[in-house]
Amino acid sequence: MKFYKYQGTGNDFILLDNRAGNLQLTTAQIAGMCHRRFGVGADGLMLLEQVDGYDFRMVYYNSDGSESTMCGNGGRCITAFAALLGVIGDKARFLAVDGEHTATIHLDGTISLHMSDVVNIEFNEDFTVLDTGSPHYVEFVEDVVNIDVYSEGYEIRNQDEYQPAGINVNFVQIVGDTQLLVRTYERGVEDETLSCGTGVTAAAIAATGDTTGIFLTEIETPGGVLQVSFTKDTPTSAKNVVLIGPAEFVYAGEFASRDIEISLN
Residue range 219-240, pLDDT digits in tens: 999 999 999 999 999 999 999 9
Whether the pLDDT of residue 15 is over 90: the answer is: yes
11 is in an annotated binding site: yes
At residue 3, the pLDDT reads 97
Contact 80, 105 (CB under 8 A): yes
- Return the number of other C-beta atoms located less than 10 Å from residue 155's C-beta: 12
What is the per-residue pLDDT for 34?
96
The SS3 call for residue 176 is strand
We find that the CATH architecture of domain 122-245 is Roll (3.10)
Phi-psi region of 67 (alpha: psi -120 to 50; beta: other; left: phi over 0): beta
Half-sphere exposure of 228 (CA within 13 A, CB side): 33
Name which of 171, 165, 169, 105 is nearest 144 in CA terms.
Answer: 171
Query: CATH number of the domain at 2-107+248-254, out of 3.10.310.10, 2.115.10.20, 2.60.40.1180, 3.60.20.10?
Result: 3.10.310.10
| Domain parsing of the chain, residue ranges | 2-107+248-254, 122-245
197 is in an annotated binding site: yes
Q: Is 83 helix (H, G, I), strand (E, B) or coil?
A: helix
pLDDT(71) > 50: yes
> Which residues are designated catalytic?
71, 196
Q: In whole angstroms, what is the distance from residue 59 CA to residue 34 CA?
A: 15
- Do the first three CATH levels of 2-107+248-254 and 122-245 match, i.e. the same topology? yes
pLDDT reported for residue 258: 61
pLDDT at residue 1, as a whole number: 86
Nearest to 55, CA basis, from 128, 104, 116: 104
pTM, 2 dp = 0.94
Q: Which of 31, 24, 73, 56 is nearest to 184 (CA)?
A: 73
Q: pLDDT band for position 260 (50/70/90)?
A: low
HSE-up (13 A, CA, CB side) for residue 13: 34
The helix/strand/coil state of 214 is: strand
More confident call, 176 vs 202: 202
Q: Are 116 and 77 in contact (CB under 8 A)?
A: no
Task: Tell me what pLDDT residue 177 has.
Answer: 85
The answer to whether 54 and 100 have CB atoms below 8 angstroms apart is yes
pLDDT tens by residue, 137-166: 999 999 999 999 999 999 999 999 999 999
d(CA 172, CA 50): 38
Least confident of 105-109, 174-178, 213-217, 224-228: 174-178
pLDDT at 75: 98
Residue 259 binned pLDDT confidence (cut-offs 50, 70, 90): low
For residue 263, pLDDT over 70 is answered with no
pLDDT for res 257:
63
Pairing outcome for strands 56-62 and 91-96:
parallel
Does residue 198 have a known ligand-binding role?
yes
Model confidence at 68, in pLDDT bands (50, 70, 90)? confident
Distance CA 159, CA 222 (A): 26
